[in-house]
Amino acid sequence: MYTIHKRMMAVLIIISLLLAGIGGRFFWYQVIEGPELARQASLMRSQGFSFPESGRGKILDRYGRTLTGEGLVWCCFAMTGQMEDVRGTSLEAARILSSEAWIVEDAIRNGGGRGEAFVLLASHLDDPQIINELRGIQGILVTEINRRYRPDGAFVHLLGNLTPAVEGSKSGLAGSSGIELRYEDYLQARSLPDQLVNVVDGRGSIIPHLSPKTVSREAESLDVVTTIDRRIQLIAEEAANRGMKTGAVVVLDIASRDILAMVSRPTYNPYDSLSYDSPDNQGQHLNRALTPFYPGSLFKIAVASAALNSHVLTPEEQFFCPGYYRFSDRLSIACWKEGGHGTISVARALAESCNSAFIEIGLRLGRARLLEFCHGAGFFFQDIIGYSGAQQGSKLTIDYGEAALGNASLGQQGVMMTPLQVANMVATVADDGVFKQPRLVKGISRGDFFTEQFDSGPGQQVMEPGAARLLQEYLRMAATTGTGRSADLPDAGSAGKTATSQTGRRDESGQEVLDTWFAGYFPADDPQWVIAVLVEHGQSGGYNAAPVFKEIAQGILGSEAGGSQILLRDLCSSLGSTWSVELP
Domain limits at 63? 42-71+150-226
Task: List the Cα angle 445/446/447 in 5-degree steps.
Answer: 110
- Collapsing DSSP to helix, strand or coil, 96 comes out as helix
- Give bridge partners of residue 51 from the DSSP assignment: 194
Q: Do 358 and 426 have their domain in common?
A: yes
Query: What is the model's pTM?
Result: 0.81
Q: Do 444 and 548 have their domain in common?
A: yes
Q: What does DSSP assign to residue 475?
A: H
Specify the pLDDT at position 240: 97
Phi, psi (deg, nearest 5) at residue 231: -65, -45
Q: Do 176 and 236 have their domain in common?
A: no
Burial state string for 311-349 with b = 16 or more CB within 10 A and e = fewer than 16: eebeeeeebebebebeeeeeebbebbeeebbeebbbbbb
- Give the CATH number for residue 180: 3.90.1310
429 CA to centre of own chain: 25
The answer to whether residue 162 is domain-embedded is: yes
Give average pLDDT by consecutive 10-residue segment, the chain, 584 residues: 66 72 64 53 47 77 89 82 87 92 91 82 86 90 82 90 65 81 84 56 56 60 93 97 96 97 92 62 84 96 96 94 92 91 95 95 96 96 93 92 94 95 98 97 91 91 97 97 94 95 84 93 97 96 96 90 44 40 33
The answer to whether residue 10 is domain-embedded is: no
What's the longest Cα–Cα distance across the chain?
Answer: 124
Helices 465-480 and 299-309: angle between axes, nearest 10 degrees: 140
Q: Do 294 and 432 have their domain in common?
A: yes
Q: Do 453 and 411 have their domain in common?
A: yes
Specify the pLDDT at position 46: 42
How many C-beta atoms surround the C-beta of residue 169 within 10 A?
A: 13
The answer to whether residue 369 is domain-embedded is: yes
The answer to whether residue 86 is domain-embedded is: yes
**Could you report the per-residue pLDDT of 179-199, keeping only the tens digit for each?**
999 998 888 866 555 555 555
From 226, 243, 258, the end of a domain falls on 226
Q: Do 410 and 443 have their domain in common?
A: yes
Q: Do 487 and 400 have their domain in common?
A: yes
Phi, psi (deg, nearest 5) at residue 117: -75, -30
Specify the pLDDT at position 244: 95
Q: Do 514 and 567 have their domain in common?
A: yes
Residues 258 and 227 sit within 8 Å (Cβ to Cβ): yes
Specify the pLDDT at position 43: 41
Q: Do 65 and 81 have their domain in common?
A: no
The answer to whether residue 184 is domain-embedded is: yes
- Give the CATH number for residue 79: 3.90.1310.10
Q: Do 93 and 142 have their domain in common?
A: yes
Cα separation, 197 vs 313, in Å, equals 74
Specify the pLDDT at position 3: 65
The answer to whether residue 411 is domain-embedded is: yes
Cα separation, 499 vs 514, in Å, equals 10
Count of structural domains, the chain: 3
Phi, psi (deg, nearest 5) at residue 2: -65, -40
Cα separation, 297 vs 358, in Å, equals 9
Burial state string for 351-380 with b = 16 or more CB within 10 A and e = fewer than 16: bbbbbbbbbbbbbebebebbbebbeebbbb
Q: Do 336 and 483 have their domain in common?
A: yes
542 CA to centre of own chain: 26
